[in-house]
Amino acid sequence: MALMTGEQYIESIRKMKMQIYMFGEKVESSVDNPILRPSLNSVKATYDLAQIPEYEELMTATSSITGEKINRFTHIHQSADDLIKKVKMQRLLGQKTASCFQRCVGMDAFNAVYSTAYETDKAHGTKYFESFVEYLKYVQQNDLTVDGAMTDPKGDRSLSPGKQADPDLYLRVVERRADGVVVRGAKAHQTGICNSHEVLVMPTIAMSSEDKDYAISFSVPVDAEGVLMIIGRQSCDTRKLEGSGIDVGNSEFGGMEALVIFDDVFVPNDRIFLNGETEFAGMMVERFAGYHRQSYGGCKVGVGDVLIGAAALIADYNGAQKASHIKDKLIEMTHLNETLFSCGIACSAQGCKTESGNYIIDLLLANVCKQNVTRFPYEIARLAEDIAGGLMVTAPSEKDLRDPKIGSYIEKYLQGVKGVSVENRLKILRLIENITLGTAAVGYRTESMHGAGSPQAQRIMISRQGNINGKKQLAKAIAKIEDQDDKEGKSL
């Protein structure tokens, strides 16, 4: 079974025995939990769309390992065209769910670990690449959702992993056995973890030789013994418990994040893909970050499409669509959104082959893409809120609208243009609220800032990849400057 249906995916998650905690209680079934189910539906969409012929080219690929048709989320990129299709697929899913569909992290981890394992083996004579290819074959043939886990809690940022007061603030190996290792620690902000079958762990920073126990990459099932998840809160999350189709804003789809604890988890040797080779930890981090920063040029753009459409609709419903400033704001939102998409496509089109054979994006352009994502969605959201008006955050609840006594007042006084129901006006306002302020904000507004690394992390990479010395030489050549250092083959 290389492709699961959406319903088969749901049932596969239902069968798992995950340790999930939320609001101080254990969640017995994430599938049936009203707060978590919308996020599961978003992942389900990645399976549903792969079954539709219209989307087959974007949603599926041919495995380079088995030759079978697989979901693109389990694919190892074989060309720049694959990288471009990835971004287009992510935009499509953003348009269909208006939320985080969570499966990108695993896809980006696959491609980072794949090439890094290959180069680690070349340097050390290890067998990580062979193990990872076998693991990936298992993932592809079973169409699994895999959570990519990189971010450690980090404790005191001024200290290296081994110098922390509590050594577990970075995930580490605490015991080495003949048949594997035991790990302890945590991974924070884990997108879609309770909707995943497996978790693929990577280091979170470049490592020095003294941090050997922290230079670990591996995969285990999310219901492995010792793995537990503590669900993060989102704004307006308990609205999902009220049963309102209006107040939630996006009643079907959503996202989720969790703090994931690894409490002395055993990892067998065939699931280990880096183990103490500290000089390759930084490579894995850099490549994963690059792939994931590329992703934001697709997923955030798709959600942005929905938000722009919602802003245009509320302008219609308010009777303001002909105002010049409204038209200009919608143009600006579109300009910003398409600029993000252009960056995602550009870093993909400029991709190149790694030693392992898979393709990696242009790292400079990927970081430029994500740097723009830390800014443009905030402006798009601001403009959407401007167009929507204050009613977006002061509107009465659906219960008030349905109330026999006070509902008539709401119908009377919250009417917009003739022919548009108050209910529809409230629905679109709540959708804008959901994307900019509510539960979807974790997958759009706030995640645009911190997802795939902080803005400063991208600026560091832009500095490294920007080739300022090369640009100096271009300027010297045009200005016909030849100084002593140039004559000696040096660069200032």
pLDDT value at residue 440: 76
Closest Cα partner for 280 from 215, 352, 353? 215
Lookup: tokens for 400? 């008030």
CA 1 to chain centre: 26
pLDDT in tens, 147-188: 999 999 999 999 999 999 999 999 999 999 999 999 999 999
Question: Average pLDDT in the 440-453 region?
Answer: 85
Lookup: tokens for 484? 């002593």
Amino acid at 440: A
pLDDT value at residue 490: 57
Closest Cα partner for 253 from 42, 34, 442? 42
Residue 439 φ/ψ, nearest 5 degrees: -65, -25
Residue with tokens 């003949």: 178
pLDDT in tens, 198-243: 999 999 999 999 999 999 999 999 999 999 999 999 999 999 999 9
For residue 186, what are the β-bridge partners? 261
pLDDT value at residue 240: 94
- Residues 427, 314: contact at Cβ < 8 Å? no
Cα dihedral across residues 217, 146, 148, 226: positive or negative: negative
pLDDT value at residue 132: 98
- Residues 202, 196: contact at Cβ < 8 Å? no
Q: Any idea what DSSP says for residue 262?
A: E
Q: Any idea what DSSP says for residue 243?
A: T
Confidence grade of residue 492 (pLDDT, cut at 50, 70, 90) = very low
pLDDT value at residue 447: 87
491 pLDDT higher than 60: no
β-pairing verdict for 227-231 and 20-22: parallel
pLDDT > 70: percent of the chain: 98
**Cα(106)–Cα(116) distance, rounded to whole angstroms?**
15
Closest Cα partner for 300 from 337, 267, 261, 334? 337
- Residues 158, 149: contact at Cβ < 8 Å? no
- Residues 62, 69: contact at Cβ < 8 Å? yes
**H helix or E strand, kind and range, residue 176:** strand 172-177
Neighbouring residues of 484: CB distance < 8 A, sequence distance ≥ 6: none
Confidence grade of residue 486 (pLDDT, cut at 50, 70, 90) = low
pLDDT in tens, 463-482: 999 999 999 999 999 999 99
443 pLDDT higher than 90: no
Q: Which residue has the higher pLDDT, 359 or 485?
A: 359
pLDDT value at residue 489: 60
Q: Which residue has the higher pLDDT, 483 or 97?
A: 97
Question: Average pLDDT in the 298-306 region?
Answer: 98
pLDDT value at residue 373: 97
- Any idea which of 334-343, 348-357, 432-441 has the lowest mean pLDDT? 432-441
Q: In a 3-state reduction of DSSP, which class is residue 280?
A: helix
Tell me which residues are annotated as active site. Answer: 100, 104, 191, 257, 292, 296, 299, 447
CA distances from 73 to 61, 94, 128, 147, 456 (A): 9, 14, 21, 11, 28
pLDDT in tens, 372-412: 999 999 999 999 999 999 999 999 999 999 999 999 999 99
Confidence grade of residue 439 (pLDDT, cut at 50, 70, 90) = confident
Query: In whole numbers, what is the pLDDT of the chain averaged over residues?
Result: 96
Cα dihedral across residues 292, 33, 72, 376: positive or negative: negative
pLDDT value at residue 485: 66
Q: In a 3-state reduction of DSSP, which class is residue 353?
A: strand
- Residues 131, 272: contact at Cβ < 8 Å? yes
Amino acid at 311: A
pLDDT in tens, 270-292: 999 999 999 999 999 999 999 99
For residue 217, what are the β-bridge partners? 274
**Cα(358)–Cα(74) distance, rounded to whole angstroms?**
13
pLDDT value at residue 303: 97
- Residues 262, 414: contact at Cβ < 8 Å? no
E-assigned strand segments in 178-248 = 180-187, 198-201, 216-221, 227-231
Question: Average pLDDT in the 350-361 region?
Answer: 98
pLDDT value at residue 448: 92
Question: Average pLDDT in the 360-364 region?
Answer: 98
CA geometry: angle at 101 spanning 97 and 103, to 5°?
A: 155
